[in-house]
Amino acid sequence: MIPETEPSLTIVTNPLFRLHQTPPGHPESVSRIDWAIEGVERAGLAVESVEVLPEATDRLIAKTHSENYARELDRACLDGASIFDCEDNPVSRSTGAAARAAVGTSLAAAERIWNAKTSKRAFVIARPPGHHAERTTAMGFCFYNTIAVVAEYLREQPGISRVFILDWDVHHGNGTQHLFEDREDVFYSSIHRFPFYPGTGASRERGVDAGMGTTLNLPMPGGIGDAEWLGEFEAQLPHAIDDYRPDAILISAGFDAHRNDPLGGMRLSTDAYRQMTRTVVDLAYKHCDGRVLSLLEGGYDREGMAASVAVHLDELRRTGPA
């Protein structure tokens, strides 16, 4: 194996994520940042803060959502609203800034991987999460669809014509799917519990119009463990990526299908996240020079999150295919 000249992994966060305050007892709390960082420390690694890309952040949020949507979120926060769009989405004065920072930090990580090429892979410890956010609607704890904004950014970069988004959060990423389901330049694949919140993600949902065939949902019944989940994952995902031949791979990395998670109702072990990450990294070496950006989505149990993040990072920092 030829040694890599670039560091294999960058792990980034931003102090602004802590400013998004949710009510006591709300599962999407600031503690989730601490749990993820605990996982980084277990892996013997370190987290760094990066400078966001402010102009690109605002422009790409407006491209993915709308300028009016961003203004409405900012206005709600500044006016002291308690929720935005639905009861699942409590807001505080700095929620808009935190959500914007999640986008900007993720874009900065993508810049390191695909333009500056100072790293092969990145893990972004961000909150609030994003994959439920629709073009003009916040839901499911999500305000801006961060992974979708990163995909839009990558599509603007020379040499990147096809982006593959893999979502293994226990909840289907309805927002991400709907933003790209009529396009052939972004492939969205999700493995998730079904039927479950938010009610989307049936296997028959394969895309529309020009995007037909670039959506792949792997719905799984509640209560299953590694054998069933990984069996479907390994049977379907490598074929999808091999057929699509992406120039970039993104992961919506939710850890709420873990057996400890209070919301997911599934029985995945920590090692399941190691095995999924290993498969994705191998496929990235096959198709896009090993480059992967992973973004934190769900995960609402301390031990489930910390342990799963640790094994996820063990595989992301690997140099060369397994």
List the catalytic residues: 132
Q: How is residue 119 written in tokens?
A: 């790293």
Residue type, 14: N
Q: Of the candidates 206, 175, 204, which has an alpha carbon nearest to the alpha carbon of residue 189?
A: 206
Question: Could you tell me which residues come within 8 angstroms of residue 227 by beta carbon, excluding any fewer than 6 positions away?
Answer: none
Q: Of the candidates 241, 224, 275, which has an alpha carbon nearest to the alpha carbon of residue 165?
A: 241
Beta-ladder partners of 258: 268
Residue labelled with tokens 């969205």: 188
The CB density around residue 104, as the number of other CB atoms within 10 Å, is 26
Determine contact, residues 124/105, Cβ cutoff 8 Å: yes
Question: Could you tell me which residues come within 8 angstroms of residue 170 by beta carbon, excluding any fewer than 6 positions away?
Answer: 192, 193, 196, 254, 256, 257, 261, 263, 264, 265, 266, 298
